[in-house]
C-alpha cells in the first residue's frame, strides 16, 4: 500500500466517524468542482480543526485570506455566534461567486462577507475601517505574500488572537533553504517571522492526509 493510499484511508475513516455526512459541505465541494475551481480546499478533518480552534478562541470576528469556494469559510463561520462576523478575502471573482452561493446555502450569508480583489489591497482598505480586532485569522492564499499577510494580521488582531497559516510544509519543500520558489521563500519568511517576532508565539505542525503531506503554522498574538 502506498503511503498516500494509507493517508487517504485514514482520512476517510476519521471523516466517517468525526465529521459525518454534511450535505451543505458536500454540496460546496461538488459545486466548486463543477465550476472547475482547483480542488485545494482543506480536508474535512482540517476544516473541523479550524472550527474547533475558532470555538476554543471564543471567536466573534474571523478573518480569512483565500476563500476559494468557501469550504473552509463554512467550517469557520459555523463556530461564530449569531452576531459574529467573518471577512474572507478572495482575488478571483469567479471563486467568490461560487463561494457566495455555497455560503448562502449554508445559511451563513448574514455572517460572512467576501471581499474580492488582491488581498493586500483589501487588507489595507479593511484596516482603514478600524474594525474590531479579529480573534482568529486564517491565511490560505498566495503563499509568496505570507509574510505580508502575517504583518497585516498583527495589525488587525489583539493579544490572545490566533493566526493560522495553511500549507507550510508542501511535501517538505519548506526545509529547502536554497529554494527560489516564491511559495517556499514566502512560507519560510512567514515561519521565520513567527519565530523572531516579539509579539508572536508559534509553532508549526506537519500533517498527512487526503491533501498529501503538508502542515499548519499556528501563532498566538502576545501582549
Ligand atoms: N481556504 C480555502 C482554500 C483557498 S485556496 C479552503 O481551504 O477551502 C487559495 C485561494 O486564494 C484561491 O481561491 C485563490 O484565488 C486565492 N488567492 C490567490 N492569490 C490571492 C490574492 N493575492 N488575494 C486574495 N486571494 C488570493
Ligand atoms: C495549494 C494552495 C492551497 O491553499 C492548498 O491548501 C493546497 C494547494 C496550491 O496552490 O497548490
Ligand atoms: Mg490551503
Q: What is the pLDDT of residues 69-111, one digit of tens each?
A: 999 999 999 999 999 999 999 999 999 999 999 999 999 999 9
What tens digit of pLDDT does each residue of 205-215 get?
Answer: 999 999 999 99
Whether the Cβ atoms of residue 219 and residue 193 lie closer than 8 Å to each other: no
The percent of residues in the chain predicted with pLDDT above 70, rounded, is 100
Name the pairing type of β-strands 157-166 and 200-207: unpaired
Which cell numbers hold the place of 9? 484511508
pLDDT reported for residue 26: 98
* Burial class (CB within 10 angstroms; exposed 0-12, middle 13-18, buried 19+) of 34: exposed
DSSP for residue 70: S
Q: Is the pLDDT assigned to residue 1 strictly greater than 80?
A: no
Whether the Cβ atoms of residue 85 and residue 56 lie closer than 8 Å to each other: no
Give pTM, 2 decimals.
0.98
Ligand 1: residue of 43, 114, 142 to mutate (most ligand atoms within 8 A of CB) is: 142
Q: What is the mean pLDDT of residues 165-187?
A: 98
User: Does the beta carbon of 200 lie inside 6 Å of ligand 2?
Assistant: no
Which cell numbers hold the place of 162? 490566533
Alpha-helical regions (H) of the chain:
3-18, 23-34, 44-57, 71-77, 93-105, 119-128, 146-155, 182-196
Q: Is the pLDDT assigned to residue 23 strictly greater than 70?
A: yes
Calpha distance 192→211 (Å, rounded): 24
Nearest-CA residue for ligand 2 atom 3 is: 40
Assigned CATH topology for domain 3-221: Rossmann fold (3.40.50)
DSSP for residue 129: T
Q: Is the pLDDT assigned to residue 40 strictly greater than 80?
A: yes
Calpha distance 223→220 (Å, rounded): 10
Ligand nearest to the CA of 71: 1
**How do the domains of the chain map onto residue ranges?**
3-221
**Residues 6+ away with beta carbon under 8 Å from 105:** 24, 27, 28
Q: Is the pLDDT assigned to residue 220 strictly greater than 90?
A: yes
Amino acid at each position: 500500500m502506498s503511503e498516500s493510499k494509507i493517508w487517504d484511508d485514514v482520512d476517510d475513516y476519521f471523516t466517517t466517524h468525526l465529521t459525518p455526512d454534511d450535505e451543505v459541505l458536500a454540496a460546496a465541494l461538488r459545486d466548486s468542482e463543477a465550476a472547475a475551481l482547483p480542488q485545494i480546499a482543506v480536508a474535512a478533518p482540517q476544516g473541523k480543526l479550524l472550527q474547533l480552534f475558532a470555538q476554543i478562541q471564543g471567536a466573534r470576528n474571523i478573518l480569512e485570506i483565500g476563500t476559494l469556494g468557501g469550504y473552509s469559510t463554512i467550517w469557520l463561520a459555523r463556530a461564530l455566534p449569531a452576531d459574529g462576523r467573518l471577512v474572507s478575502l478572495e482575488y478571483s471573482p469567479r471563486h467568490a461567486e461560487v463561494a457566495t452561493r455555497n455560503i448562502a446555502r449554508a445559511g451563513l450569508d448574514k455572517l460572512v462577507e467576501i471581499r474580492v480583489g488582491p488581498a493586500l489591497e483589501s487588507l489595507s482598505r479593511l484596516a482603514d475601517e478600524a474594525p474590531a480586532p479579529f480573534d482568529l485569522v486564517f491565511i490560505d492564499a498566495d503563499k509568496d505574500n505570507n509574510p505580508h499577510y502575517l504583518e497585516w494580521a498583527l495589525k488587525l488582531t489583539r493579544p490572545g488572537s490566533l493566526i493560522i497559516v495553511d500549507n507550510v510544509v508542501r511535501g517538505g519543500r519548506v526545509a529547502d533553504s536554497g529554494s527560489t520558489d516564491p511559495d517556499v521563500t514566502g512560507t519560510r519568511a512567514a515561519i521565520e517571522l513567527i519565530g523572531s517576532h516579539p509579539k508572536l508565539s508559534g509553532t508549526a505542525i506537519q500533517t498527512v492526509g487526503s491533501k498529501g503531506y503538508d502542515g499548519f503554522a499556528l501563532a498566538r498574538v502576545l501582549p
